[in-house]
């Protein structure tokens, strides 16, 4: 087990992103390679869960694209991850808000928490 931790600390670089939790609305900017070209794409949605610790930490974001819910899991130290911006802080009582998947319309809103944007 110590060997795995050693390799993770040695070879996986950490990036500085804002601190966020479940219920927060964030925008994730990541790089996409199409052949020889690279471009930046963003995914904007609500954080459903944060899983893992240290360098293997992942987070799941959910957004509505029309009537279809789209979820995406991002590793925190993915090399293609460029930036994360915190759009709104949300107030939820749970760390993993799976019940959010079944909610539609006005019920699918998360209460805002007043905060200062840095």
pLDDT over 70 (residue 47): yes
In angstroms, the Cα distances linking 31 to 21, 43, 46, 79, 83 are: 23, 11, 20, 9, 10
More confident residue, 61 or 108: 61
Which of 33-37, 91-95, 105-109: highest mean pLDDT? 33-37
Considering the entire predicted model, what is its pTM?
0.80
Return the CATH class of domain 2-103. Answer: mainly beta
Q: What is the pLDDT of residue 59?
A: 93
């Amino acid at each position: 087990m110590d060997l795995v931790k050693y390799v993770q600390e040695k070879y996986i670089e950490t990036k500085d992103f804002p601190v966020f939790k479940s219920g927060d609305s964030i925008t994730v900017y990541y790089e996409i390679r199409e052949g020889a070209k690279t471009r930046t794409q963003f995914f904007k949605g609500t954080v459903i869960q944060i899983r893992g610790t240290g360098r293997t930490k992942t987070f799941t974001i959910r957004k509505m694209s029309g009537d279809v819910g789209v979820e995406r899991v991002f590793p925190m130290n993915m090399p293609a991850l460029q930036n994360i911006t915190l759009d709104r802080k949300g107030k939820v009582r749970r760390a993993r808000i799976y019940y959010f998947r079944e909610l539609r319309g006005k019920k699918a809103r998360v209460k805002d928490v007043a905060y200062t944007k840095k």
